Amino acid sequence: MSAGAGFALGRLAEMLEATLEASPERVVTAVASLTGAGPSDLSYVADRDHVAAARASRAGAFLAPLGVTGLPAPTLQCRDPRRALAAALRLFHPSLPSVPGIDPSARVAADAKVDPTASVGPLAVVEAGASIGPRVRVGALACVGPGVMIGEDSVLFPHVVIYAGCRLGRRVIVHAGVVIGADGFGFIPDAAGPLKVPQVGIVVVEDDVEIGANSAIDRATLGETVIGRGTKLDNLVQIGHNVVIGERCLMAAQVAIGGSSRIGNDVMLGGQVGFADHVTVGDGAMLAGGSGVAHDIPAGQRFSGTWARPVALAHKIWAAEAHLPDLLRRVRTLERRLATLEARPPERG
Amino acid sequence: MSAGAGFALGRLAEMLEATLEASPERVVTAVASLTGAGPSDLSYVADRDHVAAARASRAGAFLAPLGVTGLPAPTLQCRDPRRALAAALRLFHPSLPSVPGIDPSARVAADAKVDPTASVGPLAVVEAGASIGPRVRVGALACVGPGVMIGEDSVLFPHVVIYAGCRLGRRVIVHAGVVIGADGFGFIPDAAGPLKVPQVGIVVVEDDVEIGANSAIDRATLGETVIGRGTKLDNLVQIGHNVVIGERCLMAAQVAIGGSSRIGNDVMLGGQVGFADHVTVGDGAMLAGGSGVAHDIPAGQRFSGTWARPVALAHKIWAAEAHLPDLLRRVRTLERRLATLEARPPERG
Amino acid sequence: MSAGAGFALGRLAEMLEATLEASPERVVTAVASLTGAGPSDLSYVADRDHVAAARASRAGAFLAPLGVTGLPAPTLQCRDPRRALAAALRLFHPSLPSVPGIDPSARVAADAKVDPTASVGPLAVVEAGASIGPRVRVGALACVGPGVMIGEDSVLFPHVVIYAGCRLGRRVIVHAGVVIGADGFGFIPDAAGPLKVPQVGIVVVEDDVEIGANSAIDRATLGETVIGRGTKLDNLVQIGHNVVIGERCLMAAQVAIGGSSRIGNDVMLGGQVGFADHVTVGDGAMLAGGSGVAHDIPAGQRFSGTWARPVALAHKIWAAEAHLPDLLRRVRTLERRLATLEARPPERG
C-alpha cells in the first residue's frame, strides 16, 4: 500500500528535520514495523525500550530518538520520533487524489448541490437539498439526508448515515457505519408507555473532527448537539442529545456521554467511560478508562473509577480493597480482645 | 425544520390545555431553546431553575409550569410542561406524509409483498417472501431479509438490516444501522475450537418499540427473542439470543443483556448496564448506569454498582470506600495500642 | 425455517450417536424449544433441571442426557446433548446452497476477481483489485474495499464494510454492520489539536473466525491487526489497532481491546470487558463480564473486576464491601473504647 519510488535518506532527513550520519543516498520505499521491515523499508524505534528489537530488525533504515546509535542500518535521529513517523507516513502514503464526480449508480436528488470537485461513490444516496462541498468524498453506500451540509475536504467512509439537517464542517473524517443525527432518547413516563418527545434539533460537527466506526451522535431535542473543532472520537462512541463537546478532545472507544452534558476543551476520556445526563467536565480534565461519571469534574483534574474520584484516591482505594476481607477479620479479633480486656476486674488497690 | 405558518398563542393554549393571560393573537412559528429562540419562537421553561434563563431569552412566548409568571413574553402555563412541549413539537413538526411507492433503484424480490401505501427508499433491498405493511417506510439502503414481516406504520431508517424471518409489529421505529436477527453467540467448547450452535430462531419486536442507532438484537437459538410492546432502546444496545423483554421498558445507550435473560415490564436501565446470561429482572426494577448484573433483581427495587446491590447500600459503600485507605492505618494503630494494653502486667493484688 | 420432510428417530439416533428405546419410525420435522414444540417437533432437555418442563412439553421427541427417561415422548439419550442439539440443528437447517454469480445491481470493479462459485448480493460494492474466493457470499449492500482478499466459503452478511487491503481467511463469518479496517485511534498531542498518525497497516482475520454484528476492528498503524484462527467475537466488540488475538478465543458483546494488546489462545472474555493499551493476556485466561484490565493477566487464571484481580479475591472483596459502612462505625467505637481503657490509671501497688 506504499506509493512511488521511495525517498533517499538524505532527502528524508531534511523533510523530517532529522540527523543522519551515513548513507544519505540509500533509498527506502516503504515504512514498516521492526519485525515486518525488510532492507528497503524504513522502520521506527519509539524509544530506548525498542532498541533491542531494532538491533534484530532487517530494516534498511530507522527513525529513532536523538542519541540512539549503533543500530544495524542508517538511523534518522529525531527530536520527536512519533511526530517524524507521522510525517514519514504522510510522505509514503499521500492521500489518494479524489476522482471528482458522481458515480452513475449513486442516487443524488435533483436539488442537492454537489461541488464539481467532490466525489460521490457507488450506490451512495444524497437526499433533497443536501450540500456537498469542494473536494468532499462521499463513500460507497453512504446516505446523506435531506438538507445536510458538508464542508470542504471532508470524508465520509462507506455506510455513513447522516440524518436530515445536520451540518459537518471542513476536513471532517467520518468512518464507516457512523450514524449522525438519529433521535435523542427522550421519553415522558406515561401509564400507556413512554411517550416520545420529538427530537427536532440537529448535530453540528465542527472542523477537523474525526469520528470512529459505528459511533452514534444523536440530534438535539431543540437546538444543537455539538462536537467541537479538532475533537477525535474512537469507534462505537455514543453521544446523547444536546451534548456540547469542546475542542481538541480525545475520546476512546465505547465512551457514552449522557444527554445535555457539557464537555470542555482538551478533555481526554479513556475507553468505556460512561456519563450520566447533565454532567459538566472542565477543560483539560482526564478520565481513566471505564470510569463512571455522575457528578461534575473540575478542569485539569484526573479522575478514575465508578463513580469517579481523583486518580490518587481511586488507586489507594483499589489497593486497600485487597486487604478488606482480612480487615473484617482483624476488626472482629480486635473487638474480642478488647472485650476481654474490658472484662478484667478494675484494679483493686 | 419547522413547518407552516405557525400558531396563534390562543389556539396553542387550547390545544396544549394551557393557561394564557395575554396576547392570544400573537403567532409563533417554531419551537426553540431558551438561548436559541427569537421573537417568533415559542420556548420552554422546564422548571423554576430555568426562570433566570427565560428572563434573558428573546423568545416570543414561553411554555412554563403553572405559577411561573413575570417572564418577558406571553406565557402558556401548563400542568405538565414537558408533555406540553412534546405536544407542541408534534404540532410544529408533524410527521411528513409518506410518499407511497417503491423507489426505482430499490431491489424488491418478485414475491415480496409491499403494501401500496408503504414506501421503499432508494437502494433498499427487500428479499424473497418479505411482507411490508401499510404506510411502512423502509429507508434508503435498508435491507429487509427473506420472510421478514413488518407491521403497519413502522419506520426503518437508512441502513437497518433485518435478518431472515424476523417480525416487527406496528408503529415500530428502527434507527439507522440497527441489526435485528443476527446469530446469537452460541458455541460449544471443543478442542478444535468453539463449535457453532446454529441459531434458527427469530426476533419478535412488538408494537410501539423504538430501537436506537447501531443497536444489535440477536435471533434466538430456538424460538424467539422478544422486545415487548412499547419498550424503547437507546443507541448501541446489545440484546442476546433468547432474551425476553417486557413492555414499556427504557434502556439507555450501550446496555448489554446476556442470553436468555428475562426482563419484566416497566424496567429502567441506565447507560452501559451489563447483564450476565440467564438473569431475571422483576417488573418496575431500576438499575443505575454502569451496573453489572449477575443475579436476579427483584421487582420494584433500585439497584446499582457491579455487582449490583440495593442503591442505598451501594451509595453507602461508595462513600465509605473513601475512608478505606485510612481505615487500614487506623486498624493497624488499634492493634498496636491494644497489644500494648494487653502487655501490661496483670494487676497485682 | 426448517427444511425437508423430516427425519425418523431411528435415523436421528444413528446420526447423533444417541440411544433410543422406542418408536424409531416416528418422524420429526423440526427442532423447537420445550414450550414451543408440538407433536412433530424434536425438543431439547439441556439437563435434569429441565425435566419438569419436558414433562409438560407437547414435543414429539426429546434430546436428553444419558439416563433421562420417563418423558412423555420418545427420548434420544446423548452423552453430550448440547453437541447433539447443534448437530440436529445442522441436519434440520442445512446451509442454503449458495447461488453463484454477481447480482446485476452489484457494483464490481473491472479488475476485481470474483470466483465463479462465489455470490455477490444486490447492491453490494466490490472495489478495485479485490479478490473473492470460491463459494464466498457477499451480502446485499456490503462493501469490499480495494485490494481486499476473502478466502473460500466465507460469508459477509449485508452492510459489512471492509477497508482497503484487509485479508479474511476461509470460512470466516462476518455479521451485518461490521467494520473491518477503519483507522486506528492514533494521534499525537499538539497545541493546534491532536495530530493524526496515518494508519497504513491492515487487518488479518484468520480461518474460522466469526465476528458479531456492528463490531469494529481497526487496521494497524504499521503491520497487522490479527484475529486468530477459530476466534469468535460477539456483537459490538471493539478491537484497537495492532492488537493480536490468538486462536479459539471467545469474546462476548461490547468487549473493547485497547491498541497493541496481545491476547493468547483460548482466552475467554465476558461481556463489556475493557482493556487499556499494551496489555498481554496469557493463554486460557478468563475475565468475568465487566472487568477492566490495565495490567497483564497470567495464563490460565480467572480474573474479575476493575481493575481485574483473581476471581476468588474479587468475590471476597465484593462480599466484604457490604460490611464496609458498618466497619467504619465499629472501628470508631473500638477507638473510643480503647481510649477509655488506656485512660484507666496504671495499676497501683
Phi, psi of C241 (to 5 degrees): -70, 145
Touching C (3+ Cβ pairs <8 A), the chains are A, B
Residue A96 has pLDDT above 90, yes or no: no
Q: Indicate if A295 belongs to the active site.
A: no
On chain A, the residues whose CB falls within 8 A of the CB of B207 are none
Torsion over CA: A73, A74, A77, A83 (sign): negative
C1–B contact, CB cutoff 8 A = yes
**For residues B314 and C324, what is the distance between their CA atoms, to the nearest angstrom?**
11
Residue A68 has pLDDT above 80, yes or no: yes
pLDDT bin (cut points 50, 70, 90) of residue B4 is low
Arithmetic mean of pLDDT, B235-262: 98
Arithmetic mean of pLDDT, A48-65: 96
In chain C, % helix, strand, coil (3-state, to 5) comes to 15, 30, 55
Residue C1 has pLDDT above 80, yes or no: no
**For residues A327 and B318, what is the distance between their CA atoms, to the nearest angstrom?**
17
Q: What would the pLDDT profile of B267-297 be if each residue is shown by its tens digit?
A: 999 999 999 999 999 999 999 999 999 999 9
Which positions ≥6 away from A95 have C-beta within 8 Å?
A: none
Residue B347 has pLDDT above 70, yes or no: no
Mark which residues 89-108 of B lie under 8 Å from C by CB.
Answer: 107
What pLDDT does C347 receive? Answer: 58
DSSP calls for B199-245: ---EEEE-TT-EE-TT-EEEPPSSSEEEE-TT-EE-TT-EE-TT-EE
* Residue in the structure block whose three cell numbers are 514495523: A33
| A94-98, B38-42, C329-333, range with the lowest pLDDT | A94-98
Q: Which residue type does C130 have?
A: A
Q: SS3 for B86?
A: helix
Q: Which residue type does A325 have?
A: P
Helix axes C9-16, C81-92, angle to 10 degrees: 120
Q: What would the pLDDT profile of C259-284 be if each residue is shown by its tens digit?
A: 999 999 999 999 999 999 999 999 99
Q: How many residues does chain C have?
A: 349
C159–A contact, CB cutoff 8 A = yes
Q: Are C282 and C303 in contact (CB under 8 A)?
A: no
ipTM: 0.96
Q: What would the pLDDT profile of C115-130 be if each residue is shown by its tens digit?
A: 999 999 999 999 999 9
**For residues B295 and B303, what is the distance between their CA atoms, to the nearest angstrom?**
11
Strands (E), A202-301: 202-205, 210-211, 216-218, 224-227, 232-233, 238-239, 244-245, 250-251, 256-257, 262-263, 268-269, 274-275, 280-281, 286-287, 292-293
Q: What would the pLDDT profile of A129-159 be if each residue is shown by its tens digit?
A: 999 999 999 999 999 999 999 999 999 999 9
- Terminal Cα distance for chain B, rounded: 96
How many C-beta atoms lie closer than 10 Å to residue C223's C-beta?
A: 20
Q: Across chain B, what does the average pLDDT equal?
A: 95
Of the candidates A193, A331, A341, the beta carbon closest to that of B208 is on A193
Q: What would the pLDDT profile of C308-334 be if each residue is shown by its tens digit?
A: 999 999 999 999 999 999 999 999 999
Kindly name the residue from A159, A241, A315, A323 that is annotated as catalytic. A241
Among chain A residues, CA nearest to C216: A213
Which positions ≥6 away from C292 have C-beta within 8 Å?
A: A272, A289, A290, C273, C274, C305, C306, C307, C308
Q: What would the pLDDT profile of A195-238 be if each residue is shown by its tens digit?
A: 999 999 999 999 999 999 999 999 999 999 999 999 999 999 99
What pLDDT does A1 receive? Answer: 41
Residue B348 has pLDDT above 60, yes or no: no
DSSP calls for A327-345: HHHHHHHHHHHHHHHHHSP
Region class of B208: left (phi > 0), else alpha (psi between -120 and 50), else beta: left
Write down all domains in chain A, each with its CATH number in brackets: 7-92 (3.40.1390.10), 101-311 (2.160.10.10)
This prediction has a pTM of 0.96
Residue B3 has pLDDT above 60, yes or no: no
Q: What would the pLDDT profile of B160-191 be if each residue is shown by its tens digit?
A: 999 999 999 999 999 999 999 999 999 999 98
What pLDDT does B284 receive? Answer: 98
pLDDT bin (cut points 50, 70, 90) of residue A86 is very high
Cβ pair C327:A327 closer than 8 A: yes
* Residue in the structure block whose three cell numbers are 471467545: C250
